[in-house]
Amino acid sequence: MDDVIILGAGIVGIATGIHLLRRGRSVTLVDKNAPGRETSFGNAGIIQREGVRPHAFPRDLQTLLQVGLHLSTAARYEPLALPKLAPPLLRYWWESSPDHYRKVVQSYAPLIGRSILTHDDLIKASGPEAEKLISRYGWHLAFRSAAKLDQEVVKAEADHVQFGIGFKLLDWDSLKAVEPNLIGGLAGAIHWTDPWTVRDPGALVSAYFDLFEKLGGSFVRGAASALGQQDKGWSVTVDGQMLRAHQAVIALGPWAPDMLEPLGYRLPLFVKRGYHMHYRAPEGVVLNHLLLDPEVGYAMAPMAAGIRITTGAEFAMRDAKPTPIQLGKAEKAARELFPLGERLDPQPWKGARPCTPDMMPIISAAPRHEGLYVGIGHAHHGFTLGPATGELLAQMMTGEATAIDVKPFRMGRFMGA
């Protein structure tokens, strides 16, 4: 009988396992797929130290009309999904009001502040191959219009004062000096200098998993079901095999409701789906650093597999058929800025970002079940916050003082507690 069973072998589950193993706990990790092949795999590869402001629901009429009329590349929705998505989305809109959002940022910023520190810890422990995946340059938030750039500079200056976030303002000539193959005459960019970028997010998560196994962790591949309390501990069935442990962690991302709802936890979770595709760069053409085009709504990043285009948010049911409409729009817009070659993947990758209406993850003990813990709901920042979440969960589970105040991330906030 292990000390801990962790359901979900994405970056949150793996990082939680590492931190528990370091504290002398025995850990079994369970997933139906290979570690790090789901949401942890298909992202832009940013460790977003600058991301102190989670993605709010748009409240200006122009953006709402663009999304409502399916004119936006940054966000789209599936009409048939709206009846089920409407309640959490309405709360998401409410929590994005200026007064609510200010409180969210104050709670969220300390968590983001742990991102680089906790990744750096795991990168060093994982060895030189993990280190080779990392760039500490930062990334470019690039603008097509001077007015939008000026607006964002005001926000960047405020975040520098309030949270110590570093940035540089680049005009078009300065940006071209760093990215000589850009075309299109952008107004300029904000160079966020604090974040790190990763040339293969899946490979980094795999390196963390190798560290987990090196520390003595076990992995069981299979579909988990029937999680329940048993003899002051927890049991779960994995493809007919029963596993037992004193404590259990649900780190299943968008699949967490499949385990939580049978236990009586009906949380207002929803998903933002996203897509990516890799492209060949023409001979002699290089994209040196990640570039986000916010006025359209996509990111373009140099990866080991090619230049990766990642899309914005698609509001749809988790398991609905892929509809990579945004990817086509993003590709067209990206070709205005950079000479992309042909597609390299046979089909677009699709993933689902697990979200909460108040934009903050759940990092918490389950309020009605002793020994059950949850780390889910990281939305756009799951890759960034995986190691920090693992650290906090391990601290809670072993009775240590937590690195930051975890009260804002408690599950009970959605249950009137």
pLDDT digits (tens, 9 = 90+) for 336-378: 999 999 999 999 999 999 999 999 999 999 999 999 999 999 9
Q: What is the CA radius of gyration of the chain?
A: 21
138, pLDDT greater than 90: yes
- How far apart are the C-alpha atoms of 115 and 120, rounded to whole Å? 8
Contact 78, 320 (CB under 8 A): yes
Percent of the chain, pLDDT > 90? 90
Best CA proximity match to 270, nearest among 314, 323, 334, 222:
314
In the structure encoding, which two tokens stand for residue 266, read together? 């009906």
pLDDT band at residue 285 using 50, 70 and 90 as cut-offs: very high
Residues near 51 by beta carbon (within 8 Å), at least 6 away in sequence: 112, 115, 195, 380, 381, 384
Best CA proximity match to 333, nearest among 301, 302, 303, 293:
293
Maximum CA extent, the chain: 67
- Strand, helix or coil for residue 259: helix
pLDDT digits (tens, 9 = 90+) for 17-76: 999 999 999 999 999 999 988 888 889 999 999 999 999 988 876 776 676 656 578 888
What beta strand segments (E) does 53-157 contain? 75-77, 134-135, 139-143
Number of other CB atoms surrounding residue 93 within 10 Å = 15
Q: Average pLDDT, stretch 251-265?
A: 97
Q: What is the dihedral sign for C-alpha 131, 135, 138, 143?
A: negative
- How far apart are the C-alpha atoms of 243 and 249, rounded to whole Å? 13
Element spanning 301, H or E: strand 298-303
- How far apart are the C-alpha atoms of 293 and 287, rounded to whole Å? 14
**What are the counts of helices (DSSP H) followed by strands (DSSP E) for the chain?**
12, 21
Beta-sheet pairing, 270-279 with 313-315: antiparallel
Q: Average pLDDT, stretch 262-278?
A: 96
DSSP secondary structure letter of residue 396? H
pLDDT given for residue 343 in this prediction: 98
Number of other CB atoms surrounding residue 407 within 10 Å = 11
Q: Average pLDDT, stretch 255-262?
A: 97
The pTM of this model reads 0.96
- How far apart are the C-alpha atoms of 374 and 8, rounded to whole Å? 11
- How far apart are the C-alpha atoms of 336 and 97, rounded to whole Å? 34
179, pLDDT greater than 90: yes
Contact 375, 410 (CB under 8 A): no
pLDDT given for residue 263 in this prediction: 97
Average pLDDT, whole number, for the chain? 95
Contact 43, 310 (CB under 8 A): yes
Element spanning 375, H or E: strand 372-376
Q: Where do the domains of the chain lie?
A: 1-56+96-132+197-266+358-417
pLDDT given for residue 73 in this prediction: 82
Contact 371, 417 (CB under 8 A): no
pLDDT digits (tens, 9 = 90+) for 203-245: 999 999 999 999 999 999 999 999 999 888 999 999 999 999 9
Q: What residue type is assigned to position 373 of the chain?
A: Y
277, pLDDT greater than 80: yes
327, pLDDT greater than 80: yes
The CATH number that domain 1-56+96-132+197-266+358-417 falls under is 3.50.50.60
Q: Average pLDDT, stretch 269-297?
A: 96
